Structure formats: structure tokens, C-alpha cells
């Protein structure tokens, strides 16, 4: 997922957050964990906590994994995802 796509989804969430408050909060959590994944790498490298680096990688990949999971569930008819049009 590119930064532009993440911004487009975020904008959609802001515009439609009143009708989809839980989705807005989940997307905010996904973005927070994504930023923590990026910001955690320098600290972990400086403190020699190599064991926690996979957590940073997971945080980095979370927005893409989340959107792919929602797309799959939407296509299967298990979950409606209106913000897919923003991608």
C-alpha cells in the first residue's frame, strides 16, 4: 500500500466517520501501529533488541494486510467495505 492510498482511505474515513465510527477507529489503530513499526526500528537497532524487529516489520506491513483482508471478505460477501472505492 502506498502512502497516497493510505491517505485516500484516511480521507474517506474522515468524511464518512459519522456513519462508520468503528471502521474509523480501527483504521486509526492500523495507522498508529504502522507508524510505530517505522519509528521503532532505530530505537531497536540502537538498543540491540533484535528480537523485536519482526514486530516492526509486522507493523510496517499491517495497512496492506488489513486492506487485503477487507477486500477478500468484501468479495466473499462476508463483510461490506465501502471505503474500497477510495483505493
Give residue 71's domain range: 3-86
Does the predicted TM-score (pTM) go above 0.85?
no
**Per residue in 7-65, pLDDT tens?**
899 899 889 888 888 989 999 999 999 999 999 989 888 898 888 899 999 999 999 99
pLDDT of residue 30: 94
Q: Nearest to residue 67, comparing CAs of 84, 86, 85?
A: 84
Residues near 42 by beta carbon (within 8 Å), at least 6 away in sequence: none
* b/e 32-61 (16+ beta carbons within 10 angstroms → b): ebbeebeebbeebeeeeeeeeeeebeebbe
* Position 2 pLDDT exceeds 90: no
Average pLDDT along the chain: 90
Amino acid at each position: 500500500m502506498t502512502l497516497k492510498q493510505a491517505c485516500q482511505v484516511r480521507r474517506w474515513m474522515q468524511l464518512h466517520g459519522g456513519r462508520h465510527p468503528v471502521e474509523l477507529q480501527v483504521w486509526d489503530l492500523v495507522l498508529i501501529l504502522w507508524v510505530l513499526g517505522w519509528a521503532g526500528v532505530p530505537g531497536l537497532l540502537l538498543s540491540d533488541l533484535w528480537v523485536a524487529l519482526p514486530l516492526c516489520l509486522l507493523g510496517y506491513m499491517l495497512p496492506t494486510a488489513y486492506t487485503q483482508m477487507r477486500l477478500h471478505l468484501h468479495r466473499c460477501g462476508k463483510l461490506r467495505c465501502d471505503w474500497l472505492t477510495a483505493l
